[in-house]
Amino acid sequence: MNQFDLLESIRQLPDEDAPRLVYADWLEERGERDRAQFIRVQCALASLPAHHPDRTDLENREADLLADFELLWLGEAGDDLLDWRFSRGFVESVGGSVGVIDSAWQALRREHPVRGACIGSLENADPAILRDSQHWAGLQHLTILPSMAAEWGNELLRWPGLRRLRSLALHQPIRRPLREPAFVDTLLRQLVGGPLQRLELHDFSQCPRMAEQLLQSGLAPQLRSLSLRCIQANGNQLPLLLDHADFAGLRELRWSAGRYTDGDSSAWRAFPARQLRRFSLIRCELTPFMLQALEQSPLISGLTQFTWASNRIRDDAAPSPFGLIDRMPQLTALEWSHDGSASADFPRRLPSAMRHLHLHWLPLDGGHWQSWTQLWQPGQLQSLSLVNCTLSREIRQEIWHSPHTRGLRHLALDLSGIDLTGLFRYADGGPQRLRHLELQFSGLSESDPSAIQKWLQGPGAARLAELELLDTSRSDALLRVWGGSETLPSLNRLRLVLNRILPPIVLDWLHSPMLRNLRSVGVLTDALTADMVEALVHQTGLEHLRLLNVDPLFEQPAAVALSGRFGTDVLLGYGDRIPAELRRHAEREI
């Protein structure tokens, strides 16, 4: 078989590994061993459970191959895309403006069976592209991040491809004159009977009974993954999702912003055993009875991923929700942020299979870190965030140099008060496989920028794709990190969080040659005006950026005007949320 026939068999059987592995053999016979190995590695990872011992070595090899060859395999499409995702060896989904996505399909279709799109901007885009373009007709995964005008909402409901989608995510409500409840009802009924298994609906404020709408539509039984973020939610919606037989097929549930009253407690009884694997509870207000019902429920005992973020227990004397963690022995990923119970002692014993740990605003000490790592193998942990936690300088230094963090791909850590010259003394010290790094500082010394710059030029930063640096003091020291002409070849996203830095200093920094490699630059500072941003885009040639985030302009008329003026290639105002949302898009196969 020739290359065209091999790729066509992959398109015809997108869920099967066999055609992909045959193509890998074909590539290896022609000397493309790295590409062939990448396909085999990702296919192997897709078939392994989250806690399998072989995952660590495979994930490390996957990260190495992506760091070395990702842009090469993307080809010319990589010049325009804001984001993309490889799955089982091929580009699975792409993200950017509508025009950029359509162009990327043209460039990628020869070698990649692209099935997903994440739309970051609808500006200057004709909704008719949904029905007129052959690429959109074959779409199976669709995410739309911005709010939709009436013409886009109506076109989506008429689009024949809607009934062929396997996953759909709408992250902003539609705009008037469309009525939200009627739009949602029609949308859900259109999806019934199709292959859709993953659904995300966020911020539809006029639909407080979304779970009931899902039941009434008949869509609930076919769902395997559901994410609902409600601005105003009736309190009985979550127990309905957990208890009703029509939702028995759910494997992943993400629920955000539920407000409950004492009268709702009767709906919280001992939930039945379910096969729920991933559960997120975000910005909810619970009673002690509800917390107890969750803790005693068998549905959380099989979880592999759990998120508890900014929830509130109404009674301050209620038991700590940390007890939930003891009921989840199979956890491999845990995210927990401040919830009003920070005075309680966070567990010193975590599941032994933990691979992803993200903790925010929690009271921690050295005993926590030492207890956790006694249960983990070096190299087991893949991502770690310890942000605004009460860890001493000595423990944070120990974490940086620990063998348990050396193989991390994602790290977020506060380095405030630490001698950075000493911390970064050895170029090969600290994590060595990072793809995403977030560092927080509070007042940098004169020598600290040079120390940071030295480490960024070492082997530990060689694979960095995303970098975020935050300085809580009123200092321009972070800008001096990029004072020279050095570049990081793999870096394509940079975000700096500054505090009242004078505009001329920021504008001078934005002339840095380092920015020429970037697709996304974020600057969080209240010192820039819309006129200054317009000037810097023209003066510095930043038109090549796919995302320019100037946070004070977020969702303001100035940002909208600038975005329209520069077209869809430079987006002003949607901020650094976009890359994070894009990474979540189609993150896991159902």
CA distance 314 to 1: 65
Which pair of tokens denotes residue 41? 């590695």
* pLDDT value at residue 557: 42
* pLDDT value at residue 563: 46
CA dihedral 78, 108, 145, 257 (to 10 degrees): -100
Residues 291-337 have pLDDT tens digits of 888 888 888 888 999 999 988 887 767 778 898 999 999 999 999 99
* pLDDT value at residue 4: 86
Q: Pick the range with the lowest mean pLDDT from 92-101, 248-257, 519-528.
A: 519-528
DSSP 122: -
Residues 175-228 have pLDDT tens digits of 666 788 889 999 999 999 999 999 999 878 777 788 889 999 999 999 999 998
Rounded percentage of the chain residues whose pLDDT exceeds 90: 34
Paired residues of 319 in beta bridges: none
Residues 278-303 have pLDDT tens digits of 999 988 888 788 888 888 888 888 89
Which pair of tokens denotes residue 3? 């290359």
Which pair of tokens denotes residue 14? 């997108």
Q: Which CATH class is domain 179-344?
A: alpha beta
CA distance 548 to 496: 12
* pLDDT value at residue 266: 54
Average pLDDT value over all residues in the chain = 80
Which pair of tokens denotes residue 85? 């995702």
Q: Could you tell me which residue, 327 or 538, shows the higher pLDDT?
A: 327
* pLDDT value at residue 393: 92
Residues 6+ apart with CB under 8 A from 425: none
**What residue segments make up the domains of the chain, in order of their start?**
3-77, 179-344
Residue 336 CA: distances (Å) to CA of 221, 226, 251:
30, 20, 20
CA distance 280 to 489: 36
Which SS3 state, helix, strand or coil, does residue 20 take? Answer: helix
Identify which of 177-181, 413-417, 548-552 has the greatest average pLDDT.
413-417
CA distance 381 to 334: 12
- Asked if 250 contacts 274 with a C-beta cutoff of 8 angstroms, the reply is yes
Give the N- to C-terminal CA distance of the chain in Å, as an integer.
31
Q: Pick the range with the lowest mean pLDDT from 295-304, 469-478, 544-553.
A: 544-553
CA distance 317 to 442: 35
Q: Environment class of residue 273 by beta-carbon count within 10 Å: exposed (0-12), middle (13-18) or buried (19+)?
A: exposed
Which pair of tokens denotes residue 356? 């992803």
Q: Pick the range with the lowest mean pLDDT from 134-143, 341-350, 475-484.
A: 475-484
* pLDDT value at residue 555: 41
Residue 560 has pLDDT above 50, yes or no: no
* pLDDT value at residue 519: 66
Rounded percentage of the chain residues whose pLDDT exceeds 70: 77
Tokens 């804001």 correspond to 82
CA distance 7 to 108: 12
Q: Across residues 519-542, what is the average pLDDT?
A: 59
Tokens 């009921």 correspond to 327
